[in-house]
Structures are given as C-alpha cells and as structure tokens.
Amino acid sequence: KILELAKLFGVTTDYLLKDDMEKTAYSDTDETAKSMRVTLKEAADFFESKAACAKRTALGAAMCVLSPVPLILLAGLADAGGSSLGEDAAGGAGVVVLLLMIAAAVAIFITSGAKMKRFDYLKKGDFELEYGVSGIVKEKKAAFDKTHTFYITAGAVLCILCSIPLIAAGVSKASSMTLISLTALLLALVSFAVYLFITAGSIKEGFDQLLLDGEFDPEVKESGKKAEKFAGVYWPVVTAVYLGWSFISRDWDMTWVIWPVAALIFAGISAVIRNEK
C-alpha cells in the first residue's frame, strides 16, 4: 500500500517511511504542486524578454544617477560667468532637465514591468520545466557566468576608481569649474557601473527564476519576504530625504552621497533580516 499512498498524496515513499524529514519531499506524481509546465519555447521567450527588460531597466537607473549632472554643470557655468543664464535661470533649467530624466526613467520602469507581467508565475515558483529544459538552462547559465563576473568586476572597479580624478583635482587646487566637471564625470562613471550591475544581475536572475535557485529557492524566498517589505518603505524614504535635502540646500554636487551610503545601510539591514534565524 505504500506505493499507492505515495501516489495519492504526491510524496516520495521515503517521506512516508521516515519521520525525521523536516520538509515534504514531493514526487513527480504530484500534479497539484505545479500548475504550469514551461516548454523550451516559453523559456526562450522569457530569456529574450528578460534580457531586453534588463537593458531598459539598467538604462532607466543610469538616467536617475545622471539626472543631477545638467543641474550641476549649468549651476557651475552660471556661477563662473560662463553662461548667459543667471544663477536662478540656470538652476531652474537644471531642475527641469532633472525631473524630465527621472520621469523618463520611471516610464521605462513601468513599461518594462508591464511587458514582463505574463511571466509573473515564474516568480511564484508555480511551474515545472519540461523534460530537457532544465539542462539547457543550466548550460546557458554556465556560459553567462563569465560575462556576469566581468560586468560585476568592471562595475565595482569603476565605483572604486571614479573618485580619483576629483580627489587629484582637489589636491592640486584646481578651479571650481574643473571640480564641477569632474563631479559630473564621477556620476557618469557611477551610472555606467549601475548599468553593468543591473544588466548582469537581471539576466542572472532570469536563470535563477527558471532553476528555482538563489533568491528564488523556496527556503531563501521565505526568509526574504521581510526584507522586501522593508525595502518597500526604505527606498521611498531615502528618495524623499535626497530630494528634500537637495532642493533645500542646493548642494546637488554633494547630496548624491546619500545613495551609496543608503545602499550600504540597506545591504547590512537586509543581511540581518534574512539571517535572523
């Protein structure tokens, strides 16, 4: 009767015979555990859409980082007398460009999310790969590992080295316009690093989704729910603080520091939340 019971409840025979197992071990006969079967074509469509969405999202994030650059440059030119615009006009024009860039980035985020809506069931893990699909996905993931490592390494190196020109100019007592230009360059390098991080991370996320690996592993996902709730409150607050501080102080060339600091704090708190067990 053991085989019939295993088939009836959709579990392995070991689960019925052993009483020291911590979680249910479902067998291939369980038809209720998985509601959709992912074919090779569906997996290919998902990866194509995921790669395109990754590049668009990365571009939007890079635009957010770059958005203060026009304001910084226009304000610097007006202050140095190199522009026909007054300081107020230059500041106003810079803020308009900043808001336009952020609005365009938000539009990119929304449209990209809408195009990936039909693959939401993959995030829930409510699917099963057809025979042979898992092996193909693993091969593609292994082939992408080198690209992923290169992108992450290049982005990290850019973030570390991007401040060197600005530091060197400050030590050599360069002009204020030179310092402003190098601040803009720093943000440009950071934005490119962000582009690399998000592109590589999003594509890798696609592989993990189909293989139920990494953050999509059922156990890891369960421990990450609290971190997601925290992120939903944390980043809007950080954004509000950044905009409020920037508009009040007008120190746009300094207020960008809040982003790397906030990211480090978020990473630390998230690590504590995920590992609180």
- Taking the C-alpha atoms of residue 5 and residue 13, their distance in angstroms, rounded to an integer, is 8
pLDDT in 10s for each residue of the chain, 277 residues: 888 887 777 777 777 776 555 554 444 544 444 467 888 888 889 989 999 999 999 999 999 999 989 888 888 777 766 566 667 777 788 889 999 999 999 999 999 889 888 888 887 777 888 878 888 888 889 999 999 999 999 999 999 998 898 888 888 888 888 888 888 899 999 999 999 999 999 999 899 888 888 777 766 666 666 667 777 788 888 888 888 888 888 887 788 888 888 888 888 887 777 665 5
Positive or negative torsion for Cα 9, 15, 21, 23? negative
